[in-house]
Amino acid sequence: MKNEPFVIERTYNVPAEKVWQAITDKNKMKQWYFDLKEFKPEVGFEFTFIGGSEEKQYVHLCKITEVIPGKKLTHTWQYDGYPGESFVTFELFDEGDKTKLRLTHAGLETFPQEKDFAKESFSQGWTYIIGKSLAEYLEKN
């Protein structure tokens, strides 16, 4: 298995500030992402959420590792009770009245080689979240 990260890019017809708010405000995030008890775009901030497949749910353990306000947000992504550590990075590129978002999920090869942790599972999940859920949220709000 190649140790290449999963990368997805999408361009939205909204300013970068609106996308930044969508990926950093917990009240906005719960409308398109996960319902987080707390979230602060601050290095060192830790947060958890539950997600997974219909068959099994997992507790996700995350910690913010890098913040460049309005441009970049990186956090760790681990599973409670499972080995492995990955990193999710949201990068925003201001294109005038549009914004390109690049999401990179690196370190997937560190997880157990099970179906729920396969790169294809992450590909399907992120394609839905970034390509459909976030896009629809930004169009409506």
Averaged pLDDT for residues 119-134:
95
pLDDT given for residue 2 in this prediction:
65
**78 three-state secondary structure:** strand
pTM of the model: 0.95
CA distance 122 to 1: 15
* Coil, strand or helix at 130: helix
For the residues 17-25, what does the mean pLDDT come to? 98
- Map residue 43 onto helix, strand or coil: coil
- 81 has a pLDDT exceeding 70: yes
Task: Name the residue among 14, 32, 10 with its Cα closest to residue 91.
Answer: 10
Least confident of 85-89, 119-123, 131-135: 119-123
Q: How confident is residue 31, by pLDDT bands cut at 50, 70 and 90?
A: very high
Quick check: 115 pLDDT over 90?
no
pLDDT of residue 24: 98
Residue-wise pLDDT tens digits, 51-67: 987 889 999 999 999 99
Q: What is the mean pLDDT of residues 105-114?
A: 95
Residue 52: per-residue pLDDT: 84
